[in-house]
Amino acid sequence: MRHKIIDWDDAYANGINIPQGDRWPVTWVEPARIYRERMGLAGQAKLGLSYGDRPRNRFDLFMPKTEPLGLVVFVHGGFWIRLDNSYWSHLAQGAVEAGYAVAIPSYTLAPEMRISGITQEVGRAIETAAEIVGGPIRLAGHSAGGQLVTRMVSTTSPLSPEIRDRIVKVVSISGVHDLRPLLNTQMNEKQRIDVEEAYRESPALLEPLPECRLTCWVGAAERSEFIRQNALLANIWKGLGAETECVEEPDRHHFNALDGLLDPHHPLTEALLS
């Protein structure tokens, strides 16, 4: 079957193409708030930790009841132009219950910050969290966050060699790994991606670090462009020596594909912690 994308805005539009898609991201607000409150009362949350000088250079850190087995960092999506870490707190639950500390940072949004600058900020957030929690590091990111976490394990990563060596697994959920198509969208009026930055910040156009282990995870009911972007990075990086896995979870779309992170025994959490 032949197919050519004509409407790039529609290709990346999730809410309007999902039944009752307007429920997200508001659906996450209350579960995230309740989780922060519960973990705070239990003495297992450190909220609003600073990793830089800008107002959004903050992260929340959720701790297990016992000594952490390592650190998970979850980086949120929103096409680099919206949302913050407060929407996603409850998604730490699965990894925390499995014994890991989970850091969830915010970052400066476009157009105030270019994507290349956001990359640097996320790198500093990971470095700061890694100073607090020792052991192996695992990264997970959703949508734009998928680009940001896979960017951390490319050969032009902003991370120090010491932190790179601690990263044992990366999971990109509905990740946008090639930024060039976004040049054709109205969103780019805020993202301000140009051709040079698209090549510099697209993980699919970069090489993975040695020993990189990557799972690209997407809902099978997502927009076809996200399914394509998901398979793209797993395919390219496999050919460059990385250990990759490509998963299309049945009956999941762009938003509820994250639900597996709530459960320490769900295949998505198991892939992250493997």
- List domains and CATH numbers for the chain: 8-273 (3.40.50.1820)
Q: Is the N-terminal amide bond of 111 cis, ω within 30° of 0?
A: yes
Q: What is the percentage of the chain residues whose pLDDT exceeds 90?
A: 88
**103 phi and psi, to 5 degrees?**
-105, 135
- Our CA dihedral for 253, 199, 204, 236, rounded to 10 degrees, sits at 140
Evaluate if residue 57 carries a pLDDT over 90: yes
pLDDT at residue 4, as a whole number: 79
Query: What's the predicted TM-score (pTM) here?
Result: 0.96
Query: Which residues pair with residue 75 across a beta bridge?
Result: 141
DSSP 185: S
Evaluate if residue 143 carries a pLDDT over 80: yes
Quick: pLDDT tens for 158-209. 999 999 999 999 999 999 999 999 999 999 999 999 999 999 999 999 999 9
Contacts of 137 (CB under 8 A, 6+ apart): 70, 71, 72, 73, 126, 130, 163, 166, 167, 168
Evaluate if residue 69 carries a pLDDT over 90: yes
pLDDT band at 1 (very low <50, low <70, confident <90, very high): low
Cβ contact 54:122 at 8 Å: no
